[in-house]
A and B are shown apart, each in its own frame.
Chain A
Amino acid sequence: MSDSGLSSGDPVQSSDLFGPDPGSDPLAYYMTSEPAADIFLASNPEVASAWRSFAAGLADQCQCDFSSLQLYLDRHVEDLGMAFRHTGDEHERPWPLNPMPIVIGGEEWAAIEDGLVQRAELLEAVIADLYGAQRLIRDKHLPAAVVSGSANFARRVVGMKPAGGNFLHVCAIDLARGPNGEWRVLGDRVRLPIGIGYALENRLALGRATGGLLASIGTRRQAGFFEALRQGIAASCARAEPRMALLTPGRFNQSYPEQAHLARHLGISLVEGRDLTVREGKLFVRTIAGLKRIDALWRWIGSRDIDPLNFDSRSQIGVPNLVDAAAQGLVIANWPGSGVVESRAMSAFLPRLAEEILGEPLKLPNAATWWCGGEGERAYVLDNLDSLVVSSAFRRPVAGLPDGHTRLGSSLSSQEREELRDGMARRPMDYTAQEVVSLSTTPALADGRFEPRGFTVRAFLARDEAGNWKTLQGGFARVSQTGDLRTSLMGLGDISTDLCIVDPAAQQVAVPPPRLEAPQVRRDQGLLPSQAADNLFWLGRYGERAHQTVRIERTLLEQVAITGEGMGAVTAVTRLANLLRSLGAAPKESTRWQPSRLAGAALSDRKLSGSVRRISEHTAAIALLLRDRLTRDSWRAIQGTIPRYTPGDLESMSGACDRLVERFAALSRLMADGLSRGPAWSFLEMGTCLERASMILQAAGAMVPGSASAEDLSALLDLVDGQSLYRSRYVSMPYIAPVFDMVLLDPAQPRGFAFQIGQIEQHLGTLPSLRDDGLPEDPIRRARQLRARIEALDAEDLDSDTIGSLGLDLAGLSNAISRRYFLQDEGPVSQAKARLLG
């Protein structure tokens, strides 16, 4: 026996001696100065083991190199197209997601859910009163200024009742966990539940990056929530199979990617104001098949901008008369004006309103809030300034808080205090104060280690088919980047993380999987708004233009490799260079340039409107507008950059062109394969065919003026990938007539001109007609005429004039398609501005 207490006979675990191995339990050494104020350290043993096994799974996956894990996750985030903007950002930013989720046990969550549902019901009741009887104001439960102070109070809809009876369908509630584990509400969001799509995407990205880890710790799934939301909105509609759309402010909005993702996930149309029109009190979307009725809108536009005739006449993103449609049964989630309950001033009254309206206290308390419009409250706030945070009651800039931001009372200088006192004396109703909410910490991965970080959670609720509130099983958590977030202030630079609700293994068996009613099998593809058709058409055109431009460059480089860099006589090289200049891919002053320099510019000079780089950027910009329709793979292919090459090195540049040709070919395949065969696909294909036809004509026109050399014709064959076919057909060097016949007139040559026209004609034939007399519409008539004309042409007689006039016919066809199917209301809606007053 030794004094150490270890007998040689006992098997000794290294963990007994040195503590647990950080690889198998990375949270073993995680500690904070206030363990009770850390959600992991304070969790019960079952939930703590879920935290531990998730962390261990992460460690296992990355061999404890947590930094590599972050990079891996970032790639999944990027693949999903997750991005956001801060107001004023020109470009989207990558989405910051932390790999370590926040884990809450099912039992604790059930209590939170109760409070959330109660709160949503309270908000609904308050809104219903303010837009109805207004009893709360008359009976002195709510001061009038708390309502009129909100920029979201929409007097225009007072007295109107929402279709289906509910003002709210979706809401988001911000929560904080205090140092003793108590949860508090920080704020309510009913106008725009920003984050709901990010919560969905965070889960997807995390799920993809961590394999089965989420399931292994018993994480509840979220799928049922979005289906409930959809059915909840649908149930309010008068028609049995309602048509829904998500109304977006457009792609420059900070949460546009989120909106596109949600529309895609819910299978509803993503529309902008200009897609919509109100006729005789009904809302319609302009589609390629004419106007189609819309029964419900999930709006992501603030009330003020939603209808320029009824609210702000300056709005360029709303729909004139939308309110009139709402009065006649259009379902809007959430109802215009709902945002009146979002103000901080309103939060101050919710505890009292809960007692008054529901007859019970709030189950999830507010952070204690005082509205300074009351004399007693004002005095209290001024006396206790040091222990409170002061805010603008309605989020406007006010004296003492010039940027409208919340300030810690103790941080105010004496001059600022003076301004605040002075402001409160003049306009007390502009101010609220809140207790300082201390935040719990959570173990977050930072710099490759687990560090305690303050966090808040945004939870989401939606009404289901029966009108009952359902909670998203999870949510969106914001983790502060720095260690010391101890107030309710949230800063920029925060990162997001997933919120996992877990059922410990013992209880998982007891919970039956949710039984969802399977939807009816259907094959229709929803409607195609004219604007989306327009975007698809141009996505096809730009994609193909990039593709063809690279082909021309590659042919140029190959010709140079054969004949050398000299540009003396008129050769195939000069003609290809001219073609690139006429396409805007090379500058006018490039006539004396070395061909390799010219090819380099045509590839990557951002200043040239026809360079491959610029066209690719255009393609990506249009793809943004179609985010809800493109698959992940297409999205990734579109984001690709120009491959590296050594400028001036023919070999390396040809290699770059080869890779681009492959990528563009793959992209058009991916895009086409990602769309089911219907109108959307047809517009993408028509754009591709039209562009290809146009490029072939331009190439033919450029390469064969008068007498073409064998090199010219060979280059032309290269452009349409026709070398081998030509050789197998003619067993001779290229001659003009046979080449023209193959390139322009042979309807069986898939890269030839005639084939493209045939394809366009076929696609047009599948599209819906607006005529009820059975006669063909203009675009298809033009396509047929053009095809007949091509059929009648003889390759021997083709000259520049004929090629030019085919070009005009093609342009006419393109214009006819755009007139018939796309929105013609170009330019924004403007309003009368002149002055009428003296």
Chain B
Amino acid sequence: MIYNIRHATKVKYASPIAHALFNLRLIPWNWAGQTFRNFRLTITPQPSEREDHDGPYCVNTTRIAFRETLSEFDFLSEFEVEVDAPADPGDGPSVQLVRDDALEMLDISVLSPAPYLFASRIAQSDDEIRRWASGHFLPDIPIVKSARALMKAVHDEFTYKPGSTTSATSPSEAFGLRKGVCQDFAHVMIIALRSHGIPAAYASGYLRTNPPPGRPRLVGADAMHAWVNVWCGKDLGWVGFDPTNDCLARFDHIQIGMGRDYADVAPIDGTFVGTAPQQMKTAVDVIEGS
């Protein structure tokens, strides 16, 4: 499957900001099964400095600096990607085996399970989420079944409602509301998995805009999307679960980055002198190519 992706963002400030330094995390990481071509990142106005680097997690970071003051700026990322859908994972090994395996891997690289086992800045541990999820993690259940059941629970019990949460809403608060958007769902699911000893990571990327004939349009397709990668043991490795759409991430998901939570892969963050943006508009098109 080939897609053409166009992701445009406009940021506006009420009064000009100074000393602006930003991290943009839009360049796709080099995933197995996804081939990227013709990537272009256009930033207007042209930043005074720009530097790309890999990491620290599965993410490419573009550091930009504006020497002049700034009252608005745009960034546009465009590329083509060919997706080889991953094979059906089957049921996978038992929850207990995944737990044990995760502690035995002699590896701490960005694709290993160890970095994704612990609470992180946004995905803080939460006893209520742990208790809520505990029925899905009996030691003998196969991991894929277990994660599917958890994903379905999030999908069924939570209401997808843009505007019901903000980026300042913690996963615990979103859990209390049983409302939110893809980011909240992903964080809640990550916290649940980790609290039961299963490595879980935050995946960011895009969804295809128009569904194949006969299928409904996916939720979250008009912006960047988030889902959960679950480490399913030595052999299966990372498998993507999308709680917003209650499906595995296969043909329709284009993965850009993976980190411990949103903070590691946020499309933009940074520092400047001034007040927070007044307005941030973003538009995403993921069109099937040939």
Contact A144 B114, beta carbon cutoff 8 Å: yes
Contact B117 A429, beta carbon cutoff 8 Å: yes
Q: Which of A149, A313, A375 contacts B270 (CB 8 A)?
A: A313
Which chain B residues (157-204) contact chain A, with CB distance < 8 Å?
Answer: 162, 166-168, 181-183, 195-197, 204
Contact B114 A832, beta carbon cutoff 8 Å: no
At the interface, yes or no: A672 with Cβ under 8 Å from chain B? no
> B197 contacts which chain A residues (CB < 8 A)?
426-429
Chain B residue nearest to A141 (CB atoms) is: B106
Q: With A137-B107, A838-B221 as given contacts, are A833 and B274 in contact (CB-CB < 8 Å)? A: no
Chain A residue nearest to B7 (CB atoms) is: A836
At the interface, yes or no: A399 with Cβ under 8 Å from chain B? yes
CB distance from A374 to the nearest CB of B (A): 8
Contact B271 A309, beta carbon cutoff 8 Å: yes
At the interface, yes or no: B74 with Cβ under 8 Å from chain A? no
Residue-wise interface mask of B (28-67) relative to A, using a CB-CB cutoff of 8 A (1 in contact, 0 not): 0000000000000000000000000001110000010000
Chain B residue nearest to A154 (CB atoms) is: B56
> A426 contacts which chain B residues (CB < 8 A)?
99, 137, 195-197
Chain A residue nearest to B99 (CB atoms) is: A426
Q: Which of A320, A428, A833 contacts B103 (CB 8 A)?
A: A428
Contact B106 A140, beta carbon cutoff 8 Å: yes
Contact B55 A836, beta carbon cutoff 8 Å: no
Contact A837 B195, beta carbon cutoff 8 Å: no
> A32 contacts which chain B residues (CB < 8 A)?
none
Contact B276 A832, beta carbon cutoff 8 Å: yes
Q: With A396-B125, A831-B270 as given contacts, are A429 and B276 in contact (CB-CB < 8 Å)? A: no
Chain B residue nearest to A138 (CB atoms) is: B106
> A834 contacts which chain B residues (CB < 8 A)?
11, 167, 276-277, 279-280
Q: Flag the segment in A255-263, A805-813, A822-830 that touches B.
A: A822-830
Q: Which of A313, A394, A833 contacts B168 (CB 8 A)?
A: A833
CB distance from B231 to the nearest CB of A (A): 12
Q: Flag the segment in B81-89, B141-149, B232-240, B261-269 that touches A.
A: B261-269
> B284 contacts which chain A residues (CB < 8 A)?
838
> B9 contacts which chain A residues (CB < 8 A)?
836
At the interface, yes or no: B79 with Cβ under 8 Å from chain A? no
Contact B121 A312, beta carbon cutoff 8 Å: yes
Chain B residue nearest to A373 (CB atoms) is: B103
Contact B181 A149, beta carbon cutoff 8 Å: no
> A149 contacts which chain B residues (CB < 8 A)?
114, 117-118
> B114 contacts which chain A residues (CB < 8 A)?
143-145, 147-149
Which chain B residues (99-138) contact chain A, with CB distance < 8 Å?
Answer: 99-100, 102-108, 110, 112, 114-115, 117-119, 121, 125, 127, 130, 137
Q: Which of B22, B56, B125, B221 contacts A155 (CB 8 A)?
A: B56
Interchain CA distance A428-B121 in the complex, whole Å: 21
Q: Count how many chain B residues have C-beta atoms less than 8 Å from C-beta atoms of the other chain.
A: 69
At the interface, yes or no: A592 with Cβ under 8 Å from chain B? no
CB distance from A397 to the nearest CB of B (A): 7
Q: With A145-B114, A426-B197 as given contacts, are A832 and B277 in contact (CB-CB < 8 Å)? A: yes
Contact B271 A313, beta carbon cutoff 8 Å: yes
CB distance from B278 to the nearest CB of A (A): 9
Contact B269 A831, beta carbon cutoff 8 Å: yes
At the interface, yes or no: A308 with Cβ under 8 Å from chain B? yes
CB distance from B197 to the nearest CB of A (A): 5
Interchain CA distance A164-B211 in the complex, whole Å: 57
CB distance from A151 to the nearest CB of B (A): 8
> B276 contacts which chain A residues (CB < 8 A)?
830-834
Interchain CA distance A12-B181 in the complex, whole Å: 93
Interface-centre pick from B114, B182, B277 (highest chain A CB count, 10 A): B114
Q: Which of B21, B102, B119, B221 contacts A309 (CB 8 A)?
A: B21
Q: Which of B18, B223, B274 contacts A837 (CB 8 A)?
A: B223
Contact A137 B106, beta carbon cutoff 8 Å: yes
Residue-wise interface mask of B (250-270) relative to A, using a CB-CB cutoff of 8 A (1 in contact, 0 not): 000000000000110011111
At the interface, yes or no: A727 with Cβ under 8 Å from chain B? no
Contact A155 B167, beta carbon cutoff 8 Å: no
Contact B221 A148, beta carbon cutoff 8 Å: no
> A398 contacts which chain B residues (CB < 8 A)?
125
Interchain CA distance A6-B275 in the complex, whole Å: 92
Interchain CA distance A426-B19 in the complex, whole Å: 46
Contact A429 B183, beta carbon cutoff 8 Å: no
Interchain CA distance A834-B166 in the complex, whole Å: 8
CB distance from B193 to the nearest CB of A (A): 11
Chain A residue nearest to B63 (CB atoms) is: A309
> B271 contacts which chain A residues (CB < 8 A)?
308-309, 313, 320, 829-831
Residue-wise interface mask of A (704-720) relative to B, using a CB-CB cutoff of 8 A (1 in contact, 0 not): 00000000000000000
Chain B residue nearest to A143 (CB atoms) is: B103
CB distance from A150 to the nearest CB of B (A): 9
Told that A321-B21, A832-B280, A838-B224 touch, could you supply 18 new A-B pairs with CB distance under 8 A? A137-B108, A145-B118, A155-B115, A156-B55, A158-B56, A309-B21, A309-B63, A313-B271, A320-B21, A396-B125, A399-B127, A427-B197, A827-B273, A831-B276, A834-B277, A834-B279, A834-B280, A838-B222
- Top 5 nearest A-B pairs (CB, nearest first) are A838-B223, A144-B114, A834-B280, A155-B56, A144-B108
In the complex, 30 of the A-B residue pairs with CB atoms within 8 angstroms, ordered by the A residue number, are A138-B106, A139-B106, A143-B104, A145-B117, A147-B114, A148-B108, A148-B114, A148-B115, A155-B56, A309-B23, A313-B23, A373-B103, A394-B118, A426-B197, A427-B195, A428-B103, A429-B197, A830-B271, A830-B272, A830-B275, A832-B280, A835-B166, A835-B167, A835-B183, A836-B9, A836-B223, A836-B280, A837-B226, A837-B267, A838-B223
